[in-house]
Amino acid sequence: MTTKIDARQSRQRAQLDQLSLNSDVKLDILLNLVNSELTPPLRLRQANPSTLSLNIDPVAVTTSSGTEGHLRTKTIQPINGVLPTFTGGSITFPGTSGGSITATGVTLFTAYTLTIPASNWIKVLIQVNSAGQILLSTGTVASTEAIASLPVAAPNTLAIGYVSMQNVAGTIQNVTGSRIYQFQGTSVVSSTLTPAELAIQRGTDVTTAGIIAALSVAGNSFLRLTAATTLSGIVAPVAPVTSGKILILTNANTSPIQVNDQDASAAAGNRIITGTSAPISLASGASLYIVYDDSSTRWRVVGGTGSGASTKYISQTAHGFTVGQWVGLSGSVFAIATRTGGIFAAGVVSLVIDANSFILTTSGYLTGLSGLTAGGRYFINTAGAVSTTETVTVASFSQTALYADSTTSGYVTIGSAIYGADNSIAGGLINPFSQLFGGIKTFLVKISAIFGVETNNTFNGFNGTETVGSGNSRLMGRLDLGSSATLVVNGDLMIIGALTGTTTVAGTGTITNV
């Protein structure tokens, strides 16, 4: 005679009150009830045998049996006040990278592809919305499962769990139970967040060098660009995370990054509106704050930080400039700044966009330079270059350009251009270093005729005869007179500095050397 096993053989029958209303439940029925009780709503499970498919069970699980009747039903919490209708189905991943993800018995929110380079892993987050549609999000690709990142769930969805997918030698591996991760106690991701602290998802550093035509951000909101020189477009976010998608980009490269405005080479939905109708320069160490506008299907630059530099986009046909050249205006056209050519520096070329446009930095901190000496003060020299030697002659000017803090960076400080001498004022000229003392104007008559070269406020090279007018005059600096010089002073000349040399002094005035 076969002995039947039922719930009456349990010493503590009260432990079964969540499973059975009767005390004589048979063991097979009891185990079925236990299995139902342990099954979560929207259970994720592999196919048997394992394939590339992932099964998703219904949104509701009923604990019942043929003899016990209906005990209770478990389900998820409402999503935006709506309990989705979802009776179960499956999704199937492609066998190779770049293939489409398909669905059976379920509705995907949008079309999805799976991209995994060989010998890499990716985590696919499974979500459901209030309409019962399945949404998929992918994290960043990595060489091991452990370091592959998990993406952030989309707003107004319930994250069910995720599956880790691997590409081995070009073949996507089957979905197995050990790679399925079911969430427990899952909460709905609301579109309204009020946390005490809020962190955004950081992605793996983008190491792509040169031009990035379509930057992939996946579920991330913070990316560092370590080798890029130009950003033409950013892959549009996947619905429902479209309008308001936030992205912060940081230039972790040593050179500026050109961010193009409405670049026609990028897909329409990936284009960036810089707000200047022109490219902008993202300095080394600076960050850019961007949001996605689904009304215009464009990314919009809404702010930036960290550069500390003032820049200007310049459009000039065949400008011919290179990064690091100091330029100024010759009429309405930019030309190479040179102290001997009369072209005062307006700034330095910090980024060459193309043959007809460039970025001009006019002030602030600048990196990506070369050949500097930390602590050096640099002046405009010739051919658009700078030098730590300040040289002023009758036919040239002195202009501060930069204070270096390293061999490749410094603070752009464009100073006023000061000539060593100028004979453009008939009858008398103000000394470049003149000031007003007690209302007495400091000047010398025709300085350019008297003084040849000025070095450290020293005027050299006067040989000849020159007359200082009858008014009171002051010279700030040192006056070196030649051996055959004649200085006629009809007024009172005060030299605040040194008066040296053999000279003949004539006239009715006096010379006071203080």
Q: What is the pLDDT of residues 259-276, one digit of tens each?
A: 988 999 999 999 999 877
Distance CA 10, CA 459 (A): 113
Distance CA 177, CA 240 (A): 29
Per-residue pLDDT reduced to its tens digit, 61-99: 877 655 555 567 888 888 878 889 899 999 999 999 999
> Which token pair is 157?
């969805």
Q: Span 466-475, mean pLDDT? A: 45
Per-residue pLDDT reduced to its tens digit, 311-338: 777 889 999 998 889 999 988 899 999 8
pLDDT band at 470 (very low <50, low <70, confident <90, very high): very low
> Which class for 52: exposed (0-12), middle (13-18), buried (19 or more C-beta within 10 A)?
buried
Percentage of the chain beyond pLDDT 90 is 28
Q: What is the pLDDT of residue 419?
A: 59
165 and 122 Cβ atoms separated by less than 8 Å: yes
Q: Span 274-297, mean pLDDT? A: 84
Task: Find out whether the peptide bond into 151 is cis, omega within 30 degrees of 0.
Answer: no
Average pLDDT value for the chain:
74
In this predicted structure, the answer to whether residue 60 has a pLDDT above a threshold of 80 is yes
pLDDT band at 341 (very low <50, low <70, confident <90, very high): confident
> Is the domain covering 210-307 a CATH 2.40.160 domain?
no
Range among 88-92, 437-441, 493-497 with highest mean pLDDT value: 88-92
| DSSP code of residue 435 | -
**Which of 335-349, 353-367, 429-443 is predicted least confidently?**
429-443
Q: What is the pLDDT of residue 152?
A: 82
In this predicted structure, the answer to whether residue 114 has a pLDDT above a threshold of 90 is yes
Q: Span 132-146, mean pLDDT? A: 92
Q: What is the pLDDT of residue 390?
A: 79
Q: What is the pLDDT of residue 77?
A: 85
pLDDT band at 427 (very low <50, low <70, confident <90, very high): very low
Residues 6+ apart with CB under 8 A from 389: 379, 381
Instruction: Establish how many alpha carbons lie within 13 A of residue 402's alpha carbon, considering only the half-sphere containing its beta carbon.
Output: 35
Q: Span 53-62, mean pLDDT? A: 90
Q: Span 183-199, mean pLDDT? A: 55
Q: What is the pLDDT of residue 95?
A: 95
Q: Span 150-169, mean pLDDT? A: 90
Q: What is the pLDDT of residue 91?
A: 96
Residues 6+ apart with CB under 8 A from 193: none
Of the candidates 175, 171, 163, the one whose C-alpha atom is nearest the C-alpha of residue 116 is 171
In this predicted structure, the answer to whether residue 384 has a pLDDT above a threshold of 70 is yes
In this predicted structure, the answer to whether residue 375 has a pLDDT above a threshold of 50 is yes
pTM of model > 0.75: no
In this predicted structure, the answer to whether residue 456 has a pLDDT above a threshold of 50 is no
Per-residue pLDDT reduced to its tens digit, 10-42: 444 444 555 554 555 565 666 666 666 777 889
Q: What is the pLDDT of residue 3?
A: 52
**Which of 99-108, 318-327, 427-436 is predicted least confidently?**
427-436
Q: Span 377-404, mean pLDDT? A: 82
| Rg value, the chain, Cα | 39
pLDDT band at 458 (very low <50, low <70, confident <90, very high): very low
The b/e string for 223-233 (b: 16+ C-beta within 10 A; e otherwise) is bbbebbebbbb
Q: What CATH number matches the domain at 320-418, 3.30.70, 2.70.40, 2.30.30, 2.40.300?
A: 2.40.300
In this predicted structure, the answer to whether residue 249 has a pLDDT above a threshold of 60 is yes
Residues 6+ apart with CB under 8 A from 414: 345, 346, 347, 362, 363, 399, 400, 401
pLDDT, greater one: 427 or 27: 27
The b/e string for 189-213 (b: 16+ C-beta within 10 A; e otherwise) is beeeeeeeeeeebebbebeeeeebb
